Amino acid sequence: MRVFALVTAAIVVLVSSQVARADFDDRPGWQRAGYTALAGVENVVPIVSAVAAPRCLQGYILCKLSFAGISVVAAAEHLLFTGGSDMAQTDAIIHRGFAGDWILTPRHAAGDAEPQVLPDPAHVSSSGSGN
């Protein structure tokens, strides 16, 4: 009976290591369902979201909302201090807070995709900046 248990455990480990290297679409249905459930939990449960997105400890959706709110405050402050003369930078600040992934998908939970909490700002051409 112990030999059977060892052989079964070895088969499970070998099969799961092969499945872990597969694309998300090629994984078994039970594993995709598990990653879907994990993504749902990571979106709302504090600390669990740090598994997929290390910057987010309070749940991914709340984290994304807080980054978006902070970007609005920072953009308003930048707009106030520049007097509206640097709208490209203000747009980049807003873009950084609101762009990216707003929810974690099963692909994020599986590790096939990396969530973009704070994506890089969009490239803006500076006209007449002198630099």
Percent of the chain with pLDDT over 70: 77
Task: Give the pLDDT mean for 89-111.
Answer: 89
* pLDDT higher than threshold 80 for residue 17: no
* pLDDT higher than threshold 50 for residue 12: yes
DSSP assignment, residue 21?
T
Task: Give the pLDDT mean for 47-60.
Answer: 85
Rounded distance between C-alpha atoms, residue 100 and residue 37, angstroms: 21
Q: pLDDT band at 3, cuts 50/70/90?
A: low
Length of the chain, please? 131
Rounded distance between C-alpha atoms, residue 9 and residue 13, angstroms: 6
pLDDT the model gives residue 58: 85
* pLDDT higher than threshold 80 for residue 77: yes
